[in-house]
Each structure stands twice: as C-alpha cells, then as structure tokens.
Amino acid sequence: MTSESTGPGSVRPGGRTARVRSAVLRAAGDALAEHGLAGLDLADVARRAEVGRTTVYRRWGTPASLVADLLADMAEQSLPRTESGSLLGDLRANARLVRRTLADPRQGALFKAVLAAATCDPQTAAALHRFYEVRVAEWEPCVRQAVERGELPAATDTREVIRAVSAPLYYRLLTTGDPLDEAAADRAAEAAAAAARAGAFVPPTA
Amino acid sequence: MTSESTGPGSVRPGGRTARVRSAVLRAAGDALAEHGLAGLDLADVARRAEVGRTTVYRRWGTPASLVADLLADMAEQSLPRTESGSLLGDLRANARLVRRTLADPRQGALFKAVLAAATCDPQTAAALHRFYEVRVAEWEPCVRQAVERGELPAATDTREVIRAVSAPLYYRLLTTGDPLDEAAADRAAEAAAAAARAGAFVPPTA
DNA sequence: CCATTAATGGAACAGGAGTCCCGTTATGAC
DNA sequence: GTCATAACGGGACTCCTGTTCCATTAATGG
C-alpha cells in the first residue's frame, strides 16, 4: 500500500473507458427514472448500456456508488441562469426552472430516485450535497443583487433564500400526490420573496 | 374470484397475529433507522422480530409493502398540538416539533428511509401522502384561527401554510449536511408566517 | 507503427434472497 | 371445554445477484 490504489478508469480514461462510463450513466439514469431506486439492478444497467456486467460491478460496485457518480456528472451540466432585474422575477424564473425539472416525468422520477439513494449511503449523500451547493451557488447572486439594490436587509442569508424557493416544490414532490403546476412555482417564489423582505432570513445577531 | 382474497391476518387479527405485526413493524423501524432503505432485508427483520421468515414474506411480501404498513401505523399515533394564541407562536411550536423529530437520530433516519421507500412504490407513496395529510390536518386549525382573528387574508390556503413550515426543514434534511438546529426551525416558522401575512398563500382569484 | 498493459467481457462459481410444502400452534366460534 | 381452521414456522428448493478467473480488446507511450 505504498501508493493509493487507483480504481479502474483512472489510468486510461480516454476512448473506450469514457464511452463505457457515459453509456452506463445514461443507462443508470434511465433505469432509475423507470423503476426507482429499488429497481436499480446493476446487471440490468449493464444490459441497457450494452456493457459487460463485470465492468459495472468492478468500476462502481454498488448502486449507491453508481448514483454518486451520476450525481457528479449531473453537477457538471449547469443550466443557464436568466436575469430579470427584480428579485421576484429572478426567484420566479428559478422556481419555474425547478418545477419544470421536477414535473418532467423522466427528470422528476430521476430526482426522486437520487434523493432516495442519498438517504441510503453517506458518499451518495455527500455527492448530492455538492450538487445542490453548485445549484444554489449559481442562483445566489440574484439575491445578492437584490440586497445591493436595497430590496432586502443587508444581513440576509442569500443562499437560504434560494433554498426557500426550492423547498416547497421538493416537499410537494415527495409528500403529496398533487401535481407540480406553475402556480405552485410562482407561489414558492412569492413566499420566499415576501419572507426575505420581512427579514426572515437575517440570522439572529450573532 | 367470487370474494376478494383476504390476506393473512384479516380473519383472525387478535392475539398472536397482532403480536407478530407489532414485533415486525418495530423491527422494521429499527432496521430502517440503522441501515436505511437499501439495507432493509425481510429475513433480517424476521430475525429481529423473532418471527419466521415465511410469515414476513407471506404477510408483507416486499420491503415497500412493509414500509407502507409501518406508515399506516405511524399515522395513527398522533402527537398533541399546543396552542399559543398567536400565529407565529403556533407555527414555531409546529416547526420545533418537526425539527425535534427529524433531528432525532432514530426518527430522522426512519423518516429519510420512509421517504426513500415512497419514491420506489406507488402504494407506499399513497400511505405517505395519507400520513402527511393527517399531520397537516392536525395543525391546520391554528392557521384558520389566525385568519379568523384577522391576522391573515381571508382566502389564505391554510394547509399550504402548514406545509410551508415543514418544507425547508425536510429540504435541509435531504439536500444539505447541515444540522437541523432550533434556529432553522424558528426561521422556517417566521418565513411561513411572513409569507402568509404578505398573501403568498392566497390562490390567484379562480 | 509497435509494444505494453489497462480495461473490458464472457463463463463458471458461490452465496443469499425469496418461494413452496407441510407439520404445528393457537385463535375464535360454539 | 372442544372443534375447525387461520396463521405461524422450519426446512428444502430455486433463481438471481455479485464475485472470480482469464482470454480478448484497445488506449497510451515510444
């Protein structure tokens, strides 16, 4: 154990290896969206990806590890952020983007499955946390601008405002059967903006 | 198929059968809290409950079905609701109760596992929805009273206000590694109250 | 282009999850 | 108390998940 053991795919990451990873991640996403986490069978993923079972077991080993890699891949694909000039406009754009994603049959199911996977394994949870840190950091500037414009209290926890927009949408996705319509997204944005203006996201003086 | 097939436990639900169900549900809760959904092995549950494997497979069949039954059981155990006289006070009490539950190592892990299970199976999801319907209905009156007192707009969607309190806590539980402290609970209550006062939960005139 | 060897994929193997069969236990009706 | 049978529990069996071994393929360095 003089040198850390480098897993398969790290020494020759080009060509075939990259192709295999791509195919497997795509297949894993499909499988998760279709059958959920419980139905995530590595043998099935290998079949879908037209890759040897052995390869999948060797490189990822467990469903949790595969999902963690999938999350790392998802974190890299960032969506463009629009700017509307007003806090409510920006938050609404964010809320609608999140809603569209969660309401989409494939993406919504995928996110549910990924959240489920994160509850089962610490490493997957860490990957999920990174994913949302990236997403929140992308949108946080629009709240910061609102603070600079004087729309919000100076000490506002800007990241928490962004999270407050997503929270009701995710909560609805998981705990009710109600559809995620655009009205829900707009309500989430309005509620977050109103709460922020009222100073609900100003930490109690440290 | 003249009469609907009644599953085991429905004809003689007393004595031993009830004891078995109780022991199995307790064991399932323990297993879920310890290993999460992925580690929920019916054979292991049977061992913990000191019950025959066959019995567990026959009566519940799948992990999802077992979790659904566990949820039905959890929905029956209701927690007492306190009344403080003000909207913010009531919402804060609710937020702190939810926080305590989710921050508790066993209960928190159990809720995460149950949410994960609901993403895998429609029946489990339905049981989860019922569970939260019951919980929301229990607390909704305190918002209704605030409306009657004139603290909130008349057309406020009272149930949505209660959900707005829980949402950020669940969102944090799942998507960040941050601890669920009391400050987070109070902030959730304040944000929901502020948003409600601002009319964010008044449906756009139908 | 050639050589080295990382990475893949098929096949055989092992272990465990889930099912079936049937004898045993104890519930509920009388 | 007694009876009929619902429900339980042990053990054998099957199938499938995950592992190991080794031959084949193709990425990288020269």
Dist. CA A178–CA B155, nearest whole Å:
20
Q: CA A37, C1' C5: Å apart?
A: 37
Determine the pLDDT at residue B5: 59
Chain A / chain B CB contacts < 8 angstroms: 152
| pLDDT digits 0-9 by tens, B27-58 | 999 999 999 999 899 999 999 999 999 999 99
Token digits of residue B128: 């989860």
| pLDDT digits 0-9 by tens, A42-52 | 999 999 999 99
Token digits of residue A154: 């100076």
Determine the pLDDT at residue A203: 93
8 Å CB contact of A175 and B132? yes
Please state the rounded mean pLDDT for residues A125-137: 96
Q: CA B96, C1' C26: Å apart?
A: 46
* Predicted confidence band of residue A1 (pLDDT cuts 50, 70, 90): very low
Task: Tell me which protein residue sits closest to nucleotide D9, measuring alpha carbon to C1'.
Answer: B52
Token digits of residue B48: 């913990």
Residue B85 above 80 pLDDT?
yes
Determine the pLDDT at residue A5: 57
Q: CA B60, C1' D3: Å apart?
A: 30
Which of A50-64, A73-87, A158-172, B21-35 bottoms out in mean pLDDT, i.e. has the lowest?
Answer: A73-87
Three-state SS annotation for chain A? CCCCCCCCCCCCCCCHHHHHHHHHHHHHHHHHHHHCHHHCCHHHHHHHHCCCHHHHHHHCCCHHHHHHHHHHHHHHCCCCCCCCCCHHHHHHHHHHHHHHHHHCHHHHHHHHHHHHHHHHCHHHHHHHHHHHHHHHHHHHHHHHHHHHCCCCCCCCCHHHHHHHHHHHHHHHHHHCCCCCCHHHHHHHHHHHHHHHHCCCCCCCCC
End-to-end CA distance of chain B: 47
List strand D contacts in A 24-83 (CB < 7 A). Answer: 41-44, 53-54, 57-58, 61
8 Å CB contact of A128 and B170? no
Chain A residues whose beta carbon lies within 8 Å of the beta carbon of residue B118: 174
Which residues neighbour A205 within 8 Å (Cβ) at sequence distance 6 or greater? Answer: none
Task: Tell me which protein residue sits closest to nucleotide D28, measuring alpha carbon to C1'.
Answer: A12
Determine the pLDDT at residue B206: 59
The pTM score is 0.93
Please state the rounded mean pLDDT for residues B195-202: 97
Q: What is the Cα gyration radius of chain B?
A: 20
Which residues neighbour B77 within 8 Å (Cβ) at sequence distance 6 or greater? Answer: none
Determine the pLDDT at residue A3: 41
Which string of b and e fits B78-91 if b means at least 16 CB within 10 Å?
eeeeeeeeebbebb
Q: CA A41, C1' D16: Å apart?
A: 11
Determine the pLDDT at residue A60: 94
Dist. CA B36–CA B39, nearest whole Å:
6
Determine the pLDDT at residue A80: 84
**Strand nucleotide closest to residue A54 (CA to C1'):** C9
| pLDDT digits 0-9 by tens, A17-36 | 999 999 999 999 999 999 99
Residue B2 above 80 pLDDT?
no
Minimum CA–CA partner of A122 in chain B: B177
8 Å CB contact of B39 and A120? yes
Minimum CA–CA partner of B63 in chain A: A38
Determine the pLDDT at residue A2: 35
* Predicted confidence band of residue A206 (pLDDT cuts 50, 70, 90): low
B34, B40, B174, best to mutate vs chain A, most A CBs in 10 Å: B174
| pLDDT digits 0-9 by tens, B109-134 | 999 999 999 999 999 999 999 999 99
Residue B80 above 90 pLDDT?
no
Beta strands in chain B (DSSP E): none
Strand C bases, protein C-beta under 7 A: 6-11, 16-21, 26-28
Task: Tell me which protein residue sits closest to nucleotide D17, measuring alpha carbon to C1'.
Answer: A43
**Strand nucleotide closest to residue B55 (CA to C1'):** D8
8 Å CB contact of B120 and A64? no
Helix axes A122-148, A87-103, angle to 10 degrees: 150
Dist. CA B191–CA A197, nearest whole Å:
10
Residue B104 above 60 pLDDT?
yes
Average model confidence (pLDDT) for chain B?
93
Q: CA A21, C1' D30: Å apart?
A: 28
A40, A119, A157, best to mutate vs chain B, most B CBs in 10 Å: A119
Determine the pLDDT at residue A44: 93
**Strand nucleotide closest to residue A15 (CA to C1'):** D27
Share of chain B above pLDDT 90, in %: 85
| pLDDT digits 0-9 by tens, B8-18 | 888 888 789 99
Dist. CA B45–CA B35, nearest whole Å:
12
* Predicted confidence band of residue B78 (pLDDT cuts 50, 70, 90): confident
Domains of chain B (ranges plus CATH)? 15-62 (1.10.10.60), 75-198 (1.10.357.10)
Which of A67-76, A167-176, B176-185 bottoms out in mean pLDDT, i.e. has the lowest?
Answer: A67-76
Token digits of residue A144: 């910061």
Q: Write the DSSP string, B97-153.
A: HHHHHHHSHHHHHHHHHHHHHHHH-HHHHHHHHHHHHHHHHHHHHHHHHHHHHTSS-
